[in-house]
Structure 1
């Protein structure tokens, strides 16, 4: 029985079914929450700088496909090669977002998880005029920005756009990243404070300073998003 259940969970048809259901659920959440934007002209500020690198925290990223609010926006999202990432990829593609498979890591697993190939593909994607979205933190160090996204900005010459999205109704899990499952029929907030540019000749000290700036900017955006809704953020959980 356990083997049958395991095989079912890993089967392509099951992964596809879960991915489709997840996409339609997220569409419901987006359509039934009234979103405010901070600043109100956030899209007017972002559009001239596209293609860009959109950055979020792990566990706060489920609604990120809906930042692509115009048909002409092109975007691809970095998703883990792990089998758990399969239905995430299916959901993203159903919502009109392309995928890049691979993940970051703080150690040698970066190569095993397809990190090098994914990095090169993200650079090519940005050079081709398409936005890239990814989480700035790497498992399992929640809300600690990794160096990979800073390296991507330096290599591609494209700005990092840190964003936070929150809803007034949610379920928050007690896992490493305090995953927040957004619920329908409430209010929402999208916050984008400022972009971060990484010079092509940035040395190690400059990149570390920009990594810390990205970390603080994402934390501030997340705090502001939840504060606007009168709800506690993941750091308060």
Structure 2
């Protein structure tokens, strides 16, 4: 170590701790309180929808019944815009024997959502597809091996909207669980000015669900195969959502 490097090291050692590490300040009490209230409001909203909204299968009931009869895991797929109606539809299948799982961030907020998921008898799968993609995929594979059907929102969490990524295709290929496409529409909803223009269903509305035929994915030999299937998957989901939206 030369003399200048040694002096720099000594200077850093004399610095106060707050100058050595300028990390993010912890959130204020007001922000923590607001976050807690918003989380509990979300949990209450989910319960309200479960208690007041009706779920109607408008297309593909035979595919749903066949899937439930087989009692083996599937990889449910939907658009992030329809997260609420499609998610609550999947939740309604728990009583009929489907073990449903959702990928939830490993963050502090994710811990709260994991508790909410368990309260609704849904399995939280901890991982982030955007930050720890490899670990998230491993967690999803293990979940399927334990009989869980993990819901996949192929254009989430950041988009672009209605461009399905390859994660669900790769998961289906690795596990042998077929893709299970869910087109969903709420009869009445608010639309959020978010990247996906999310639909927030209103209480006492009707969830219209169109289910696609289960789609098994064999072994993938090249990256472009997964990309081609993901593109087809997006097209099929668009069609199913259109059927659900136009149903009487």
Q: What's the TM-score bracket when you normalise by the shorter of the two chains?
A: 0.7 to 0.9
By how many angstroms is 1:178 displaced? 0.8
**Aligned 1:37-186 pairs, distance under 5 A:** 37-47=58-68, 48=70, 50-63=72-85, 64-67=87-90, 68-71=92-95, 72-83=97-108, 85-105=110-130, 113-138=131-156, 139-186=158-205
Aligned residues: CA RMSD: 2.3
State the partner residue of 2:56. Answer: 35
Q: 2 CA distance for matches of 1:119 and 1:89?
A: 18
Q: C-alpha separation between the residues in 2 aligned to 1:82 and 1:179?
A: 22
Q: Name stretches of at least 5 consecutive residues in structure 1 with no aligned partner.
A: 106-112, 230-237
- Higher alpha-carbon Rg: 2
Q: Secondary structure at the match of 2:103?
A: strand
Alignment of 1:22 onto 2:45: yes
| Distance (Å, rounded) in 2 between the aligned partners of 1:73 and 1:104 | 23
Q: Relative to 1, partners in 2 of residues 1:57 and 1:88: Cα closer, same or farther, differing over 3 Å?
A: farther
Q: Which moved more, 1:184-193 or 1:206-215?
A: 184-193
Measure how far apart 1:8 and its partner are: 1.4
Contact 1:78–1:101 under 8 Å retained in 2:
yes
**Distance verdict in 2 for CA 1:18–1:226, change over 3 Å:** same
CA pair 34-49 structure 1, distance change in 2 beyond 3 A: closer
Measured after TM superposition, the shift of residue 43 of structure 1 is 2.1
Residue aligning to 2:211: 192
For residues 240 and 112 of structure 2, the distance between their equivalents in structure 1, rounded to whole angstroms, comes to: 28
In structure 1, the partner of 2:33 is: 8
Deviation at 1:53, TM superposition (A): 0.6
- Report the Cα distance in structure 1 between the residues aligned to 2:150 and 2:76, rounded to whole angstroms: 6
1:181-220 matched pairs, under 5 angstroms: 181-220=200-239
Q: Secondary structure at the match of 1:81?
A: coil
Q: Which runs of 5+ in 2 are unaligned?
A: 1-26
> Following TM superposition, where does structure 1 have runs of at least 4 consecutive aligned residues deviating by more than 3 angstroms?
81-91
* Shift in Å, 1:193: 2.0
Mapped partners of 1:210, 1:114: distance in 2: 23
Specify whether residues 223 and 81 from structure 1 end up closer, same or farther in structure 2 by C-alpha distance, changes over 3 A only: farther
1:16 Cα deviation from its structure 2 partner: 5.7
Alpha carbons 1:50, 1:129 under 8 Å: kept: yes
Residues 174 and 6 from structure 1, CA distance in 2 versus in 1: closer, same or farther, beyond 3 angstroms? Answer: same
Map Cα deviations across residues 95-120 of structure 1 (whole Å, 9 max, x no partner). 21111122323xxxxxxx23222211
SS in 1 for 2:56: strand
Q: How much does 1:147 deviate?
A: 1.5
SS in 1 for 2:82: coil
Structure with more helix by fraction: 2
Which range moves more in the overlay, 84-93 or 132-141? 84-93
Aligned residue for 1:140, secondary structure, equals coil
Query: For residues 35 and 142 of structure 1, do their structure 2 counterparts lie closer, same or farther at Cα, with a shift above 3 Å needed?
Result: same
Q: CA 1:7 to 1:40, structure 2 compared with 1: closer, same or farther past 3 Å?
A: closer
Deviations 1:142-200 (A, max 9, x none): 11111111111111111111102212111111211111011122333111122322212
